[in-house]
Structure 1
Amino acid sequence: MNSQMPNGYAIEVERLVTHYGPRKILDDVNFTARQGEIMVIMGGSGSGKSTLLRHLLGLHRPTSGSIKLLGQDITKLSADQMFDLRKNMGVAFQGGALFNSMTVGENVELPLREHTRLDDNTIRIMSRMKLEVVNLAGFEDMMPAELSGGMIKRAALARAIVMDPKLLFFDEPSAGLDPVVSAELDELILTLRDAMNMTIVVVTHELESAFKIADRITVLDQGRILMSDTAAAVRASEHPRIRSLLDRTPRNDAVNPDEYLERLTREIIRA
């Protein structure tokens, strides 16, 4: 597999457009992330950030545009080629997505058993090393139901990095965690970037966490990118939509009654 990145970009999204039925969800989305960089994707509810993440993971094909991961346009890859590329990708889902019938250690070992031919002892050693990285050494024989919310997220992270991926995708890492545990997870994400030179994409609405970990931030609103720049530049932005998000102020969008009635009638006729 060719994973060369001559321009230094691990992720390149160009003119990405996607629809759910007649509704346009992502509209001309463009952004890049360099190798070893933490890119935070932010936006309000319904902004399109979860849809964008699914496209980055290759779970949905866009209407148009390209998504290059490690130099390969995943919109043009076959299923077998995408399967091969995913060996260089790790995903930590919002709820952890651990298998409740398996121990913590078995959950972490799973990618190695699925994608490698390593012997059992090597697999156990590698999984325990990753559990130690996320401060869960000694918890390999416990069941997910016996873990706290923060421990579940760390176990899921250990599974995501067990194959030393070049790309790590993290969906709402701080969701449901208390401030102390959330801060510890932020530090862990920074440690992974520095120690393993991973490109990390984090989807979050937690502002404090975003500005702590991000090298750059991409702000989505109604399916379009408002800004993709350094954390400092985003914090200093005077764009009204961005300020509304950062200052936690409600949006006062004016509604044209005639346009609203026309759109509603059009959608009912389509249905």
Structure 2
Amino acid sequence: MTNPESRIPNPGSQEPIIDVHGLEAYYGRRRILHGIDFRVMPGEIRVIMGGSGSGKSTLLRHLLGLQRPVRGSVKLLGVDVSHADARAQLKLRRQIGVSFQGGALFTSMTVGENVALPLREHTQFDENTIRIMSRLKLEVVNLGGFQDLMPSQLSGGMVKRAALARAIVMDPRLLFFDEPSAGLDPVVSAELDELILQLRDAMRMSIVVVTHELESAFKIADTITVLDQGNVLLTGSVDEVKASDNQRIQDLLNRRPREIEVDIDDYLRRLTEEQA
């Protein structure tokens, strides 16, 4: 069977911008990720989908280098994040943007100060240049003129866009977006989807989006990876995911609850191990 990852179009380079091989992760003795293989090519929008507890957040933390693999490897922009020294990791982080689910704006700073923060931390630009660059990025996300407001004065959608402006202020090659549509009304969600597509096309960045919003995923994704209980069920196009005959994928797409089976022997074994 052909690996779906090998069918992803490659617009400029033969090297994947993300290359994960055999990734395993554990919390205590419980294995969360089961040998994940995951590749993202330059210019691609990859959506990671799955139900609660599927391993999406754990995979994202490994991709960001916040957790080290128990087994396997994670390479971003050709750098093995598990073995890179501090200098290499700092250089790598300057080429990556992250927009967190809740925005993660600093409440004691204005919107403009939040967006400018990466420039102040990682560049030697003068204040006038930093101010111009941060305001340009606010214009990109349709927040021009809002730089002097505090985060508490913004709506939920505006907070998401301000966080996105901060994530792209250093023109990263790779952008991670965690649940961009969470908590937003349908109109604002659609606007944010369009913004993600425009960013990819205008700035030629690769984007990884973790989401459970099906409509958003189907609109923006070049490729979708579906996770379930720490395993990759399928990696393919939107049409391939929709047409899959995998029962778990169809349950996810059609919002059907899964049947929960309790294995008494397994429960007692795990209980005994935890007490030991």
Same fold (TM over 0.5): yes
- The superposition leaves residues 133-163 of structure 1 with CA deviations (integer Å, 9 ceiling, x where unpaired) of 0000000011101000000000000000000
- TM-score, normalization: structure 1? 0.95
SS at match of 1:76: coil
Greater Cα offset, 239-248 or 77-86: 77-86
* CA positional deviation for 1:183: 0.5
Corresponding position of 2:265: 258
| Structure 2 Cα separation of the partners of residues 263 and 20 of structure 1 | 13
| Count of matched residue pairs | 265
**Residue identity matched to 1:105:** G
Identical columns (%): 68
Whether the aligned pair in 1 keeps the contact of 2:21 and 2:35 (CA below 8 Å) is: yes
SS at match of 2:17: strand
In the TM superposition, structure 1's runs of 4+ consecutive aligned residues that sit over 4 Å from their partners are: none
- The superposition leaves residues 50-108 of structure 1 with CA deviations (integer Å, 9 ceiling, x where unpaired) of 01101111111010111111111111111221111000000000000001111100100
Corresponding position of 1:92: 99
SS at match of 2:94: helix
Which residues in structure 2 correspond to 1:188-207 (within 5 Å)?
188-207=195-214
* CA positional deviation for 1:256: 3.4
* CA positional deviation for 1:6: 5.1
Matched, 1:132 2:139: yes
| Structure 2 Cα separation of the partners of residues 137 and 183 of structure 1 | 20
Corresponding position of 1:29: 36
* CA positional deviation for 1:11: 0.7
| Structure 2 Cα separation of the partners of residues 202 and 194 of structure 1 | 16
| Structure 2 Cα separation of the partners of residues 176 and 145 of structure 1 | 16
| Structure 2 Cα separation of the partners of residues 236 and 80 of structure 1 | 45
- TM-score, normalization: structure 2? 0.93
Matched, 1:109 2:116: yes
Unaligned runs of 5+ in 1: none
Corresponding position of 1:17: 24
**Residue identity matched to 1:140:** Q
| Structure 1 Cα separation of the partners of residues 144 and 19 of structure 2 | 36
Unaligned runs of 5+ in 2: 1-11
Matched, 1:75 2:82: yes
* CA positional deviation for 1:19: 1.0
Whether the aligned pair in 1 keeps the contact of 2:13 and 2:42 (CA below 8 Å) is: no
Corresponding position of 1:61: 68
**Residue identity matched to 2:94:** K
Corresponding position of 1:165: 172
Corresponding position of 1:212: 219
* CA positional deviation for 1:252: 1.4
* CA positional deviation for 1:114: 0.4
| Structure 2 Cα separation of the partners of residues 6 and 202 of structure 1 | 21
2:154 alignment partner, one of 147, 152, 155: 147
- The superposition leaves residues 103-139 of structure 1 with CA deviations (integer Å, 9 ceiling, x where unpaired) of 1001000000000001111111111110000000000
**Residue identity matched to 2:119:** L
Superposition RMSD in Å: 1.2
| Structure 2 Cα separation of the partners of residues 116 and 251 of structure 1 | 50
SS at match of 1:142: coil
| Structure 1 Cα separation of the partners of residues 264 and 30 of structure 2 | 20
**Residue identity matched to 2:238:** A
2:54 alignment partner, one of 28, 33, 47: 47
